[in-house]
């Protein structure tokens, strides 16, 4: 397998349209559709292409893991992409609702904490990933009443597509291709569509001209200390028995010209801190939902590699095609807009030394232990607070039940 070091490319770049055609999942007009193709590189490294239908751009990104999974820590961990996507999406909605109310914000920032769980035995097959409600503290200063600013926070949570993955219960679908053969799936919902092996696309992608996208879209700002024999230390996440909680913190803020910036740190286990930049239009940097969708694909791929390592299953190659589609209901004019997400569709392509049955078990354990698929299996509506002009307040989310909307 190739590696991040060998490619010579930046950690993220816009793909030249001459090298690769845009692909988007089946979707209706008005929906946001993102197709993510991910392949495994050496160790715990991964490479993704995010085909962003709304902007008609393709972004290539890479992910890695830190010492806790014996990774090389050269690129952000998968949950960093997801956390950044959530934060960027929330910031976009906050800004949009403020503009709709003609409020000029003096400053707008966000502190976001995401929590996940892992418990059980990979060898017994009962290891399970879990997700807990995210916690948001919106820091906003503006010349507006406290009630108006509270309403903006509530509306932003309801209309952020990223929140739908945490809030709504989704029935995700899967397909398996083992040794280039289609294998029917069991114990997961089968995909209604067919997809092609993503490897050729990932091999063909090359960057646009330097002027087409920003430099240093993703950078490491703090290196994790490598420590042995402590909770969250080196190799701790590779143990076959797990009972732990993960904590990711994201500090995000608006920049000028439609740009956003976030610093994401993995607090548990012990991980590095990375800075990411997003472009709301998806022109000079990836948009929020490209980061979010890449995070889902990267996390699922990590669980595949981790499970294979624990059960000593030799994988020659493995990759996925994953479709993410978001929509909206209600009316923005009536301030009744709700973001929704369709079920995520994942096609796994794997070559291994094992049987079809072993490959199917790999697919199932990937779904069972993926933190982000866990987030979609149950309702984990975010907890909201706001620091408004220096005063910290608890915020009650909008009641989105049909009778209340």
Q: In CATH, which superfamily holds the domain spanning 4-395?
A: K homology (KH) domain (3.30.300.20)
Strands 173-178 and 345-352: parallel
Outline where 101-145 has alpha helix (H).
none
What crossing angle do the helices spanning 288-311 and 356-369 adopt, rounded to 10°?
130
Name the residue among 366, 375, 387, 348 with its Cα closest to residue 292: 375
Q: Measure Cα distances from 397 to 270, 336, 338 in Å.
A: 32, 13, 12
Q: What is the pLDDT of residue 404?
A: 46
* 182-212: pLDDT as tens digits: 999 999 999 999 999 999 999 999 999 878 8
Q: What is the pLDDT of residue 104?
A: 84
Q: Measure Cα distances from 16 to 41, 75, 173 in Å.
A: 22, 22, 31
Distance CA 259, CA 109 (A): 13
Q: What is the pLDDT of residue 342?
A: 96
* 296-318: pLDDT as tens digits: 999 999 999 999 999 999 999 99
Q: What is the pLDDT of residue 41?
A: 97
Q: What is the pLDDT of residue 262?
A: 98
The answer to whether the predicted template modeling score (pTM) of the entire model surpasses 0.75 is yes
Q: What is the pLDDT of residue 179?
A: 97
Mean pLDDT by 10 residues, the chain (405 residues): 90 95 92 97 97 92 96 97 98 93 88 98 97 97 93 95 95 97 96 95 92 93 87 91 97 93 97 97 96 98 97 97 92 73 98 96 98 96 95 92 53
Q: What is the pLDDT of residue 55?
A: 85
- The SS3 of residue 283 is coil
């Amino acid at each position: 397998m190739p590696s991040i070091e060998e490619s010579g490319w930046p950690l993220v770049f816009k793909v030249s349209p001459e090298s690769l055609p845009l692909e988007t999942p089946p979707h209706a007009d008005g929906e946001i559709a993102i197709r993510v193709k991910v392949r495994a590189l050496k160790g715990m490294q991964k490479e993704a292409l995010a085909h962003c239908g709304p902007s008609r751009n393709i972004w290539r990104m890479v992910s890695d893991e830190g010492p806790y999974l014996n990774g090389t820590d050269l690129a952000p961990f998968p949950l960093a992409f997801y956390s950044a996507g959530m934060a960027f999406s929330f910031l976009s909605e906050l800004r949009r609702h403020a503009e709709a109310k003609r409020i000029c914000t003096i400053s707008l920032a966000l502190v976001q904490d995401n929590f996940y769980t892992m418990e059980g035995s990979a060898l017994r097959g009962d290891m399970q990933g879990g997700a807990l409600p995210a916690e948001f503290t919106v820091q906003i200063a503006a010349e507006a009443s406290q009630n108006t600013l509270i309403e903006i926070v509530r509306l932003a949570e309801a209309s952020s597509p990223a929140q739908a993955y945490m809030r709504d219960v989704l029935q995700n679908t899967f397909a398996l291709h083992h040794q280039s053969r289609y294998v029917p799936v069991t114990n997961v919902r089968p995909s209604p569509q067919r997809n092609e092996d993503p490897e050729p696309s990932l091999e063909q992608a090359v960057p646009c001209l330097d002027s087409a996208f920003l430099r240093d879209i993703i950078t490491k700002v703090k290196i994790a200390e490598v420590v042995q024999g402590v909770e969250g230390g080196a190799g701790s996440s590779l143990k076959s028995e797990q009972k732990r909680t993960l904590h990711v913190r994201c500090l995000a803020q608006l920049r000028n010209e439609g740009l956003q910036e976030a610093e994401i740190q993995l607090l548990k286990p012990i991980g590095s801190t990375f800075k990411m930049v997003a472009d709301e239009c998806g022109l000079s940097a990836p948009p929020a939902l490209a980061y979010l969708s890449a995070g889902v694909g990267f996390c699922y791929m990590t669980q595949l590699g981790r499970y294979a390592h624990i059960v000593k299953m030799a994988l020659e190659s493995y990759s996925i095609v994953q479709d993410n589609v978001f929509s909206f209901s209600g009316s923005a004019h009536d301030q009744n807009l709700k973001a929704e997400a369709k079920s995520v569709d994942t096609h796994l392509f794997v070559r291994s030394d094992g049987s079809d049955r072993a490959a199917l078990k790999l697919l199932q354990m990937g779904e069972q232990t993926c933190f982000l698929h866990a987030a979609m299996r149950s309702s984990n509506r975010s907890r909201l607070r706001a620091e408004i002009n220096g005063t910290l307040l608890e915020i009650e989310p909008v009641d989105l039940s049909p009778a209340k909307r």
